[in-house]
Amino acid sequence: MTTPPPMENILAAAAAASKTVLITGVSRGLGKALALELAKRGHTVIGCSRSLDKLSSLQTELASVSSENNKDNKHLIMDTDVRSNTSVEELARAVVEKKAVPDIIVNNAGTINRNNRIWEVPVDEFDTVIDINIKGTANVLRHFIPIMIENKQGILVNMSSGWGRSAAAQVAPYCASKWAVEGLTRAVAKELPAGLAIVALSPGVINTEMLQSCFGNSASLYPTPESWAPKAANMILNLTVADNGASLTV
């Protein structure tokens, strides 16, 4: 009787198999670092962002780091505003037309308000945080979950934050948005059919532009997105349906 391989070997093989990963907010910070790390490992990246000027250079970077066994894979980079339901719908349509249905989606696009007490946060700034962090996440779920259901499999990762599980002064809009992402994730987990899973993933405290806006020069004491990406990629690639509804931290 043949002894089955250890579970860690099965998970490693699953992570090593080439996957198609959609990442929102891919032009900078955690999204860009994760995209480059995945491309380096031979995975296909579908990336979107509003920063059109940064997307063409990212396409070149992705091609240059792609592993030798994945040089023929075409990464798809699109100008998409996750705040717009129509824009996300167009992204979903393009993905289906190119037969590039993602195995994994990372809802990474996010923003934070400038440090301020809630009664001093400008209305448009509050709205932007809600529109990107909550509505943007919901727009992606609205248009891509049906595609994954049709494909009978898929992992959805909603980027959360430590401030989606705790709170801090001066960033109330951001805290509210990330608490919403945590609640949205848990609720959607109860709606997904077999074969799909959704998790909320806190990246930890990483030296991004968003952290710099809160912490100032102290942000430099924390890890860079580039040093964070390998660990994050390992974790995301190894997620399974058993993780459905979990709140995790890299």
Residues recognised as catalytic = 174
CA pair distance 137, 135, nearest whole angstrom: 5
Q: Are 45 and 60 in contact (CB under 8 A)?
A: no
